[in-house]
């Protein structure tokens, strides 16, 4: 058996797809140390630049007192929420989320992955249908596999195909739910939310929106694309994470009271896991309050992203999307690996994204900008990348 495992690993290595853990250290804002180098971190999801903010962390811990050590700064819940792991703190955060979104209720999950694998199987059964964007996150696809409902995937942002599915199949199912990310994590493009809302209303469907890569970055209070486009009230289940722009861990869904209660009773990824530690829930609440006033950081990041896209295009490099996530398609896996190594030598921490995370033949760099970066951090990147890619392709062509 060990020989079979070794063959599988060797095949991944030969394909340029062998994944390894890479410990980082010395985080200072948007910079980090890797293998002894001080690098600009272009791989993080710390979109608002909060995870590396030492002053912010120090301010949070100033609230630590003997009387609240376990209740608000404790390191373990030691039980699931449905046993002894629930807390007033968790309910306080859920109440603040529901109030901010103007929805009846909210429910915490331990991660976006827990939410996406636990929500659909809890809500839907064999007489129901799920229609999911083909480029939705892997956690959504895993949730589809765990669900007894029929599921179909429509081509990425192809709402004509989505409507054709609805027109052809809606009458055959008790419930139909449309599932989409708002900002897609590998392409940096966005769903057409008004169109999705229109289709859900026309065909009496539910809409499940994954805002993992949008919360903190869009809308007046940083609540996501649905807030920015004024459609939040029409989204039946809006999922957001704390593990990206909010610099914490965990996730939440805002929804109706009935959906909330169904999830509490049937969502296995909620029921059968230990609750988040009090210190994590407290930190998430702290960040959620603060980020609602971070409009300047959001504007800065949007402007920085536009500026880098324009500079890359001036170098003849094709980009896509319109978010702070800027994909640069490399193509071949091995080329992406070699080029990432060259960029690290030039001071940029970029890890290549390869299949199955992205479609075959589209290995890429996923440049992830954060609000604590300045243009001076990025100005040299477009020219260096263009030069290194040309040299990399020339060397590969020469058999190097």
In a domain, 145, yes or no: yes
Q: What is the CATH number of the domain that holds 38?
A: 3.90.1150.10
Are residues 216 and 332 part of one domain? no
Q: What is the mean pLDDT of residues 269-290?
A: 98
Catalytic residue (choose from 44, 111, 137, 286): 137
User: Are 350 and 369 contacting, i.e. CB atoms less than 8 angstroms apart?
Assistant: no
Own/partner long-range contacts of 25-28 (Cβ < 8 Å, ≥24 apart): 27/51, 27/52, 28/52, 28/54
Share of the chain above pLDDT 70, in %: 98
The pLDDT mean for the chain works out to 94
Specify the pLDDT at position 204.
98
In a domain, 170, yes or no: yes
151 labelled catalytic: no
In a domain, 14, yes or no: no
In a domain, 93, yes or no: yes
Are residues 218 and 164 part of one domain? yes
Specify the pLDDT at position 272.
97
Catalytic residue (choose from 45, 68, 80, 198): 45
Cα gap 160→77, rounded to integer Å: 47
Domain boundary among 291, 306, 323: 291
213 labelled catalytic: yes
Catalytic residue (choose from 87, 139, 180, 185): 185
231-250: string of b/e by CB count within 10 Å (b at 16+)? bbebbbbbbbbbbbbbbbbb
In a domain, 321, yes or no: yes
Are residues 265 and 128 part of one domain? yes
In a domain, 8, yes or no: no
pLDDT in tens, 114-129: 999 999 999 999 999 9
- Predicted TM-score (pTM) of this structure: 0.93
Catalytic residue (choose from 114, 200, 213, 286): 213
Catalytic residue (choose from 94, 128, 133, 210): 210
Catalytic residue (choose from 114, 200, 225, 244): 244
Whether residue 148 has pLDDT greater than 60: yes
The β-bridge relationship of strands 31-34 and 25-28 is antiparallel
The mean-pLDDT minimum among 28-37, 78-87, 369-378, 386-395 falls in: 386-395
pLDDT in tens, 209-239: 999 999 999 999 999 999 999 999 999 999 9
Whether residue 397 has pLDDT greater than 70: no
In a domain, 10, yes or no: no
Q: What is the mean pLDDT of residues 72-95?
A: 97
Specify the pLDDT at position 307.
97
Question: If we measure between CA atoms, which residue out of 236, 246, 193, 187 comes closest to residue 215?
Answer: 246
| Banded pLDDT at 279 (limits 50, 70, 90) | very high
| Banded pLDDT at 389 (limits 50, 70, 90) | confident
CA triple 258-261-263, angle to 5 deg: 110
210 labelled catalytic: yes
260 labelled catalytic: no
244 labelled catalytic: yes
The residue range of the domain holding 275 is 77-291
| Banded pLDDT at 395 (limits 50, 70, 90) | low
Question: If we measure between CA atoms, which residue out of 88, 122, 86, 83 comes closest to residue 253?
Answer: 122
Domain boundary among 291, 314, 344: 291
Give the chain's count of helices (H) and strands (E).
16, 13
Catalytic residue (choose from 128, 181, 227, 388): 181
Are residues 219 and 186 part of one domain? yes
The number of folded domains in the chain is 2
The β-bridge relationship of strands 37-41 and 251-255 is unpaired
């Amino acid at each position: 058996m060990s020989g079979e495992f070794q063959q599988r690993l060797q095949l991944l290595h030969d394909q340029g797809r062998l994944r390894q853990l890479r410990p980082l250290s010395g985080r200072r804002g948007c910079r980090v140390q890797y293998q002894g180098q001080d690098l600009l971190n272009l791989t993080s999801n710390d979109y608002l630049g909060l995870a590396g903010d030492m002053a912010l962390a120090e301010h949070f811990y100033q609230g630590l007192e003997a009387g609240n050590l376990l209740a608000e700064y404790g390191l373990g819940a030691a039980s699931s929420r449905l046993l002894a792991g629930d807390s007033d703190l968790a309910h306080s955060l859920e109440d603040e989320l529901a109030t901010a979104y103007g929805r009846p209720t909210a429910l915490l999950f331990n991660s976006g992955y827990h939410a996406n694998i636990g929500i659909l199987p809890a809500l839907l059964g064999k007489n129901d249908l799920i229609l999911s964007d083909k480029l939705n996150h892997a956690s959504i696809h895993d949730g589809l596999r765990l669900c007894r409902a029929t599921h179909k995937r429509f081509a990425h942002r192809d709402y004509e195909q989505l409507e054709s599915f609805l027109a052809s199949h809606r009458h055959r199912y008790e419930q139909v739910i449309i599932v989409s990310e708002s900002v897609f994590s590998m392409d940096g493009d966005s769903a057409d939310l008004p169109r999705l809302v229109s289709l859900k209303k026309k065909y009496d469907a539910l809409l499940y929106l994954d805002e993992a890569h949008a919360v903190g970055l869009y809308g007046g209070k940083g609540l996501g694309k649905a807030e920015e486009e004024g459609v939040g009230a029409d989204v039946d289940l809006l999922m957001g994470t704390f593990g990206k722009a909010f610099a914490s861990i965990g996730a939440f869904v805002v929804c109706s009271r009935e959906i909330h209660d169904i999830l509490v009773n049937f969502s296995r990824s909620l029921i059968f896991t230990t609750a988040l530690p009090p210190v994590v829930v407290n930190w998430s609440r702290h960040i959620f309050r603060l980020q609602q006033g971070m409009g300047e950081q959001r504007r800065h990041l949007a402007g920085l992203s536009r500026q880098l896209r324009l500079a890359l295009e001036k170098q003849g490099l094709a980009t896509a999307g319109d978010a702070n996530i800027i994909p640069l398609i490399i193509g071949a896996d091995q080329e992406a690996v070699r080029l990432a190594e060259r960029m690290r030598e030039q001071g940029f921490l970029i890890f290549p994204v390869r299949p199955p995370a992205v479609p075959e033949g589209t290995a890429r760099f996923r440049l992830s900008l954060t609000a604590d970066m300045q243009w001076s951090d990025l100005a040299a990147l477009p020219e260096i990348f263009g030069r290194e890619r040309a040299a990399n392709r020339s060397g590969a062509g020469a058999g190097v």
